[in-house]
A and B are shown apart, each in its own frame.
Chain A
Amino acid sequence: MKGRLLTGNAAAAAAARLARVDYVPAYPITPQTEIIETIADWVREGTMDSKFVQLESEHSMMTAAGAASLAGARVFTATSSQGLLYALEMLYNVSGWRAPMLLVNVSRGLAAPIVLEPDHNDVLAARDSGFLQLHSETCQEVADLVLLAYRVAEDKRVSLPAIVNLDGFYLSFTREPVVLPDQGKVDQFLPPYEPVSPLSASRPVARGSAVMEGFVYSYFRYNLHAAALRAKNVFNEAAGEYEQLFGREYGPVEGYMLDDAEYVLVMSNSFTALGRQAVKRMRERGVHAGLLKLRMVRPFPTEEVAALLRGRKVVGVFDQNLSPGLGGIFYSEVAGALYHVKNRPKAILPAVGALGGKQITAKEMDSVFEEMVRIDRDGVTPSPMFLMRDDELARVRKAVAIAEGRS
């Protein structure tokens, strides 16, 4: 077996070291803390040449990160869940500053109630912030996407900050074989960051000015949007070079058993593994199932989604997030990408599941494909699925009874 056993957190830290980051402003939060602990250790023992500072909050951490990036430093930081939300105000600023720093988010469900295991409402709260977003399924992907993200973010055609997302526990604390790229080749792939007009004490530069008027604001916001759209081709270019250097191929999306697939489920992040298993089981039952994984979330890979989902009978979207009062977030985005496609699927099934890391059994996963088949067969309009099992419901009821003093 090639590589070595690393957790997702360790892979993120190792990639930051390989990227030769200059500055790591940090603040601890479960399940991310291992990343900054690892980096702090390396900096202390002198095996990583970075400035490490623990700030007093994620808000300050993000402010320091953005400012250092504007000064020309390559900046790495990490957070999770509530921490990301606390930093959120600054995320919009940092992207408006066009500061190409990298934030690793370790997904964890949002309070209240409090939970530690993953869903994607945290990282999707930053969906509209102007940060590029790349989501990982494996620990290997974490390491590779960190390096790719720096390359794309710092490209002059983009100049935007990025988030690399990994699921808490399912990746963050899970060890699996990871091949870390060779430092010499990483240096070739990712040369030192060269800022355009860096903040400098001897040459004043103002960023994030008040523009006051809407048309000036619109001009810069439109430019931010255009830069985010350009990031997709820049990513593809960089990914091509990455594949040549390191032998691993990455696209904005990834198909699984799509060739003749009639029923395709769209998923993201680590639970995609469960979707792949379900596809295999359905294939064994003679159902032409397939899967489409979203790796790039911002910019949204509209063309790839449309190209790979056109002509399918029914598409399902598995959302590990919930926008209360609407439903799954990716459902709307996938449906939007497909609306103008001529031979679009006749139905799109929304399925919400695995909130707060709720475990998903084979039966639950299969039920989504079975519903897609049924919708096709009976020609019915999909009604949204919210995955929950009877044994789980019984346990909730029992706990609620105790909480209310009824047992």
Chain B
Amino acid sequence: MTVRVRFHGRGGQGAKTASRILGNAAFNDGYFTQDFPIYGAERRGAPVTAFTRFSREEITERGFIFSPDISAVMDDSLIADTLANPFSGLRRGGVAVVNTTKAKGSVVPGRDDVKSVCLDLTGQALKTLGKPVLSAGIAAAVARISGINKEALLTAVVDELKDIGLSAEMVQKNVGFAAAIYGELSPLELKTEELDAREELVPLAVVVSEGGIEAVTQAGNSAIRHTGNWRTFRPNIDYEKCTDCMMCYAYCPESAMAVGPDGRVKIDYDNCKGCMICMVECPLKAISQTLEGGA
């Protein structure tokens, strides 16, 4: 059978690299393999998707994976993100691998026909690597679950991370990270079944009946798209130190600094992406960061 893995992460967490480590690991283990990421208008924190397929027979599929056997979610804030929608199409009998400290038991809402594997990858990564980069850990989790050989995995970790220019020391730390996660888990049976597709084709005449001309005539609608869940770190203002000098307001690239009714600077957490430029620029060091809960 073909194993289809879909990785969901945020820019900077290593979703693309994870798909490549897994692809390389499967290749080392003698599988036919395919991996690829999809690119949008990336930046750190934005949702990213990457795919890996591997099979003992030649792979005849290509492109997006709509019906994954394994959905690997590197940031639990993505679960509620309707655009990322990380469990869409997850097959009956499939596995959700989720980086989280919050959830226990089933993490896939309304689905008792899938298995859940919850891991604190961010905690492990901060401990072993010193930063929340999860590629080696999530790839190791999926490799173990799907029965890929350990040596094949660790060779892939070295190859892929060397390839993107990591120092020998950092590569070794990642090998340690991968080995630790691999050791925590055991293979799961992947007997899966595709969900029924409910779709109908629309004739051209219907599609064009509205005469659609692309034009945005209502200004300011980007506020509707809440990007607050992109944050890994959360800025906090210490109002004892803050003098409302408004430097953070001037530097914030997302206009997520506002002035509250009390005349004080206020962070719009619905849209703040956690870039932490405000913390760097604050002349009074009145802004600190905390890790967002869970991931």
- CA distance in complex: A41, B215 (Å): 37
A227 located at the interface, meaning its Cβ lies under 8 Å from any Cβ of chain B in the complex: yes
Nearest CB on A from B220, distance (A): 9
- CA distance in complex: A223, B210 (Å): 8
- Asked if residues A223 and B217 are in contact (CB atoms below 8 Å), the reply is no
B216 located at the interface, meaning its Cβ lies under 8 Å from any Cβ of chain A in the complex: yes
A contact patch SS: loop
**Given known A-B contacts A210-B41, A212-B40, A212-B41, A220 and B212 have beta carbons under 8 A apart:** yes
User: What count of chain B residues pass the 8 Å CB interface test?
Assistant: 14
Q: Report the number of A-B residue pairs with Cβ-Cβ less than 8 Å.
A: 45
B214 contact from A157, A196, A207, A212, Cβ within 8 A? A207
Interface residues of B in 176-216 (CB under 8 A from A): 204, 207-208, 210-216
Nearest CB on A from B221, distance (A): 10
Interface residues of B in 208-248 (CB under 8 A from A): 208, 210-217, 219
- Asked if residues A205 and B217 are in contact (CB atoms below 8 Å), the reply is yes
A223 contact from B40, B41, B208, Cβ within 8 A? B208
A233 located at the interface, meaning its Cβ lies under 8 Å from any Cβ of chain B in the complex: no
Nearest CB on A from B43, distance (A): 14
- Asked if residues B41 and A204 are in contact (CB atoms below 8 Å), the reply is no
- CA distance in complex: A206, B208 (Å): 21
Nearest CB on A from B4, distance (A): 20
- Asked if residues A209 and B216 are in contact (CB atoms below 8 Å), the reply is yes
- Asked if residues B214 and A222 are in contact (CB atoms below 8 Å), the reply is no
Q: For residue B215, which residues in chain A have a CB less than 8 angstroms away from its CB?
A: 197, 205-207
- Asked if residues B208 and A222 are in contact (CB atoms below 8 Å), the reply is yes
- CA distance in complex: A223, B215 (Å): 13
- Tell which of B40, B207, B215 has the most Cβ of chain A within 10 Å: B215
When A and B form their complex, which 10 residue pairs have the shortest distance between CB atoms, in order from nearest? A226-B208, A206-B216, A223-B212, A204-B219, A98-B213, A220-B214, A223-B208, A197-B217, A222-B207, A205-B217
Other 6 A-B pairs with CB < 8 A, given A98-B214, A205-B216: A97-B214, A206-B215, A207-B216, A208-B214, A222-B207, A223-B208
15 pairs, A vs B, C-beta closer than 8 Å: A96-B214, A98-B214, A159-B213, A196-B213, A197-B215, A205-B216, A205-B217, A211-B214, A212-B41, A219-B207, A219-B212, A222-B204, A223-B208, A226-B204, A226-B208
